[in-house]
Amino acid sequence: MSSPCCDQPPGVGRCRARTLLALGLLLGLSWHSVAVSQAAPPDAPQVPEAAEADLDFSDMLYVRNPLPSTSVEIGYRFERIRDRTAAGSEFTHKHEINVALSLAPTEWLGLSLDLPYQFLSVGPADGPRTAETNALGDLTAEAFVTLVQDPARRLAVAVGLDVGFPTGSVREGTGGQWTLTPFLNGGMMLGPIQIFADMNYAAELRALPDAGPRRQDLSANLGVGYPLGEFWIFPFLALNGVYTLAGPAEVRHRGQIALAPGVRIGPAAVAGNPGGNGSTSPTDSAKGAAGQAAPAEPWWKRLSVAIAPQFPLTATREFEWGITTAIKLDF
């Protein structure tokens, strides 16, 4: 349910070129954020083992965190999608509620399950809804390994894989595809500023009659945040790019760049606060300074809420606009 690249056919080539250039720039910035940060000066101070817990990132929306955490998150996503048909334009309102369970068995391994439920309604902009769908989306299982955790350089790099299971429906427009998404992501700190970047390749594994050719997407995301620990606030700005390498004719060789300003609020919103997401293992975090079991934090100190609207910047638009909210409880 994607719109054409440009309204005027003569401009399609220029629109594709601009989108490819913008996505290439975003990919370059993402890689540069990870690669340059690894080159610490020879006289960089050595961080003792006791300070390793200082490598602690806050969570953004739309960009992956390279450090594992154990948490439960409930999210809501809305998208307004324009579909151009022979009879004119129709709009799809997509509502998605998802539950994500994350587990950090060790300080370098992250596992998660994400199950969405979708509500879709279709109709003209100034008319009644002509079709409605309520159904499960595709279940996603994720595993990633943090290859680098370097407190001296204040850097972490991870690689992982998402596997999508066809619990949704192709006919209803809620998924129904097996997918594989390998990804590379990293995070670094420049003073109090946190920078995340990730690159992803998503591929459908089978061609279905109701879905057309198998879709393959290349995406890159870049996020910058500045924690305000004393106020329990973490504002951030994310830039998201996606380009469709293969798939149905209406989306093939087209892409989108979107901007997402957002904020995470709550006692656990800022890394380093009590209950905040950290890089220590469950065993380490359960011990106090003397090696004794630390008293459990109240549940509300492990809570945070995030919200971020998303606005396309390119003529190619998978959606007109969207917004994501999430409430997260860390363990």
pLDDT digits (tens, 9 = 90+) for 269-293: 887 654 555 444 444 444 444 455 5
Average pLDDT of the residues in 91-111? 95
Task: Render pLDDT for 46-98 as a digit per residue (tens, 0 to 9).
Answer: 444 434 446 889 999 999 999 999 999 999 999 998 876 555 567 889 999 99
What sign for the dihedral angle of Cα 33, 36, 39, 40? negative
pLDDT at 319 over 90: no
Residue 171: predicted pLDDT: 83
pLDDT at 252 over 70: yes
Considering only CA atoms, which of 269, 328, 329 is closest in space to residue 298? 329
Domain limits for position 275? 9-39+52-330
Q: How far apart are CA 279 and CA 301, in angstroms?
A: 18
Q: How far apart are CA 117 and CA 135, in angstroms?
A: 6
Q: How far apart are CA 4 and CA 87, in angstroms?
A: 15
Amino acid, res. 47: V
Average pLDDT of the residues in 119-137? 80
pTM of full prediction above 0.85: no
Domain assignment of residue 174, yes or no = yes
Residue 208: predicted pLDDT: 74
Domain assignment of residue 2, yes or no = no
* Secondary structure class of 33 (helix, strand, coil): helix
Considering only CA atoms, which of 194, 182, 104 is closest in space to residue 155? 194
Domain assignment of residue 83, yes or no = yes
Confidence of residue 40 (pLDDT cuts 50, 70, 90): very low
Residue 21: predicted pLDDT: 57
Total of domains in the chain: 1
Q: Which helix (H) or strand (E) holds 285?
A: helix 282-285
Q: How far apart are CA 165 and CA 270, in angstroms?
A: 33
Strand ranges in the chain using DSSP code E only, listed in sequence order: 71-85, 88-103, 109-123, 131-136, 139-150, 155-165, 179-190, 193-204, 216-225, 233-246, 255-265, 303-312, 321-330
Cα distances from 242 to residues 43, 117, 122, 200, 267, in angstroms, run 39, 23, 24, 9, 33
Domain assignment of residue 76, yes or no = yes
Domain assignment of residue 285, yes or no = yes
What single DSSP character describes residue 68? Answer: -
Residue 299: predicted pLDDT: 84
CATH number, domain containing residue 255:
2.40.160.40
Domain assignment of residue 3, yes or no = no
Residue 129: predicted pLDDT: 66
What are the backbone angles phi and psi of residue 311, rounded to the nearest 5°?
-125, 120
What radius of gyration do the chain's Cα atoms show?
21
Domain assignment of residue 1, yes or no = no
Domain assignment of residue 224, yes or no = yes
Confidence of residue 39 (pLDDT cuts 50, 70, 90): very low
Q: How far apart are CA 74 and CA 269, in angstroms?
A: 15
Residue 268: predicted pLDDT: 83
Task: Render pLDDT for 149-201 as a digit per residue (tens, 0 to 9).
Answer: 999 999 999 999 999 999 998 888 888 889 999 999 999 999 999 999 999 99
